């Protein structure tokens, strides 16, 4: 009985052992399956981790790109602000340019075609007046040279007269000289009586005749004063305001003047006045006839005529000098107007150049703005794509 019980217990224990072994086997299989599942999960997690690492790297790179794009956007914002400022400047300059154009159009309107033609005509007239002034200067120089020649001839005649008066022929008895002078001047008997009174003092007369050339030259220079004065004034480029009183042509009754000297001086004076009158294109000068053969009562009238003719000649020369000065003043005024017109044209040209530069700058800024807007749109699209990818990754996790 005991053996049967033992066998039965052994059988029971074997069955229990088998049941335990089977249970262990089942558990082992379950554990193996769980381990395999865990291994599969581990592989999946590893792959997920790798994928996430890749996504993290990509996200990091995208973040860097986004940061760069953000910096670019900030720069674009700054550039856009600058562009707006430049637009304001361009608008202001455009307004100024339009105002300048309006002013230039007003200036063009003020300077009409008739005024332009008148300005050109004035310029041509000024050139012609300059040519006339040069011709007048040449004539004045010719007159100056002619007056110098006459002065030299008068000096030579005075020297010859001095030599003649100091010669023994002229120092003969005073009655011969007195007779010659009475014959030339046609003195009345009363004058001859006065000259006879001088004859008694022959020695003082000889001494006085030695000093005569200088006095005669001085008297002739007084009578012919307009010619040398005119020469000096022409040399200096000036014309006196009036005719000196020395041009009244006094006829003296000095007993020592000779007819030849009088004729020579008067001839020189008439030649000088005639030459000046011809140079000044004066058709006729009164009082140009010699005084030698004129009666005494008409000599004063002829002297007044010569005085008037000399005054006319002086006025003519003075007008010739004043006219170029007025023409030069008008020329300066015209030159000032032309210079003002040139400055206006230069200002207009500068404004046009400035306007062209501003237009070029505006075109460049518009192109830059278009490029910036295009880049901004591309960056916005990229940002939208990155946001969608990040949202998809979050949903997958």
What is the model's pLDDT at position 51?
A: 85
- Using DSSP, state whether 191 is helix, strand or coil: helix
203-221 mean pLDDT = 38
Structure confidence at residue 21 (pLDDT)? 85
Higher pLDDT among residues 105 and 328, named by residue: 328
Max avg pLDDT among 161-175, 179-193, 195-209: 161-175
**Has residue 197 got a pLDDT over 80?**
no
pLDDT of residue 113: 64
pLDDT at 216 over 50: no
Mean pLDDT of the chain: 68
User: Which residue would you say has higher pLDDT here, 72 or 174?
Assistant: 72
pLDDT of residue 204: 34
3-state secondary structure of 284: coil
**pLDDT of amino acid 192:** 33
Of 170, 246, 175, nearest to 212 by C-alpha is: 170
**351-365 exposure pattern, b = at least 16 Cβ within 10 A, e = fewer:** beeebeebeeebeeb
Higher pLDDT, 70 or 281: 70
Domain boundaries, the chain: 2-107, 137-323
The values of phi and psi at residue 112, to 5°, are -75, 175
Measured from the Cβ of residue 148, the count of other Cβ atoms closer than 10 Å reads: 15
Contact between residue 260 and residue 249 where contact means Cβ atoms under 8 Å apart: no
Taking 60 as the threshold, does the pLDDT of residue 5 lie above it?
yes
Pair 157, 265: CB distance under 8 Å: yes
pLDDT tens digits for range 228-263: 333 443 333 443 444 444 443 444 444 445 566 666
CB atoms within 10 A of CB 102: 10
Interval 119-130: pLDDT, tens: 677 778 777 777
Per-residue pLDDT at 135: 78
Lookup result for tokens 């007084």: 222
Copy the structure tokens of residue 343.
């400055």
Let me know: does 143 contact 275? Beta carbons within 8 Å. Answer: yes
Residues 232 and 225: their CA atoms lie apart, in Å, by: 11
pLDDT tens digits for 336-394? 777 777 787 777 778 778 777 877 877 787 788 778 778 778 877 888 887 788 787 77
**What confidence score (pLDDT) does residue 287 get?**
66
Mean pLDDT of 181-192: 37
Q: Indicate whether 176 pLDDT > 70.
A: no
Instruction: Give the Cα separation of 89 and 82 in Å (integer).
Output: 10
The contacts of residue 172 (CB under 8 Å, 6+ apart) are: none
Mean pLDDT on 106-118: 62
Work out the angle at residue 134's Cα, subtended by the Cα atoms of residues 128 and 139, and round it to the nearest 5 degrees: 125
**What is the mean predicted confidence (pLDDT) over 160-186?**
45
Give alpha helix (H) positions in the chain. Answer: 2-110, 113-165, 174-185, 189-199, 202-210, 212-223, 226-236, 259-279, 296-396
Q: How far apart are the first and last CA of the chain?
A: 70
pLDDT for 266 equals 72
């Amino acid at each position: 009985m005991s053996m049967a019980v033992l066998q039965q217990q052994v059988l029971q224990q074997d069955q229990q052992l088998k049941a335990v072994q089977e249970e262990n086997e089942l558990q082992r299989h379950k554990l193996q399956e769980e381990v395999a599942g865990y291994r599969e999960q581990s592989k999946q997690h590893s792959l997920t981790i790798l994928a996430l690492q890749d996504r993290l790297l990509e996200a990091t790179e995208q973040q860097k790109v986004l940061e760069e794009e953000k910096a670019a956007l900030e720069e674009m914002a700054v550039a856009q602000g600058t562009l707006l400022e430049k637009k304001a400047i361009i608008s202001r300059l455009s307004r100024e340019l339009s105002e300048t154009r309006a002013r230039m159009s007003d200036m063009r309107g003020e300077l009409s075609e008739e005024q332009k033609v008148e300005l050109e005509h004035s310029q041509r007239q000024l050139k012609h007046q300059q040519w006339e002034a040069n011709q007048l200067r040449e004539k004045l120089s010719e007159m100056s040279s002619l007056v110098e020649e006459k002065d030299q001839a008068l000096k030579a005649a005075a020297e010859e007269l001095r030599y003649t008066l100091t010669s023994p022929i002229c120092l003969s008895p005073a009655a011969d000289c007195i007779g010659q002078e009475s014959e030339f001047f046609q003195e009345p008997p009363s004058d001859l009586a006065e000259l006879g009174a001088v004859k008694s003092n022959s020695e003082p007369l000889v001494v006085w005749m030695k000093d005569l050339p200088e006095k005669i030259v001085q008297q002739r220079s007084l009578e012919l004063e307009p010619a040398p004065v005119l020469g000096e004034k022409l040399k200096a480029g000036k014309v006196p305001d009036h005719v000196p009183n020395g041009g009244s042509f006094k006829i003296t009754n000095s007993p020592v003047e000779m007819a030849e000297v009088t004729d020579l001086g008067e001839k020189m004076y008439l030649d000088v006045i005639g030459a000046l009158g011809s140079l000044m294109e004066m058709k006729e000068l009164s009082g140009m006839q010699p005084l030698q053969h004129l009666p005494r009562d008409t000599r004063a009238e002829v002297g007044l005529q010569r005085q008037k003719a000399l005054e006319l000649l002086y006025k003519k020369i003075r007008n010739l000098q004043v006219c170029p000065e007025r023409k030069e003043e008008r020329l300066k005024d015209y030159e000032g107007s032309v210079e003002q017109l040139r400055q206006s044209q230069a200002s207009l040209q500068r404004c046009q150049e400035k306007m062209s530069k501003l237009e070029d700058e505006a075109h460049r800024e518009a192109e830059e703005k278009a490029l910036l807007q295009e880049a901004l749109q591309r960056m916005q699209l990229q940002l939208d794509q990155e946001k969608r990818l990040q949202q998809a990754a979050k949903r997958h996790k």
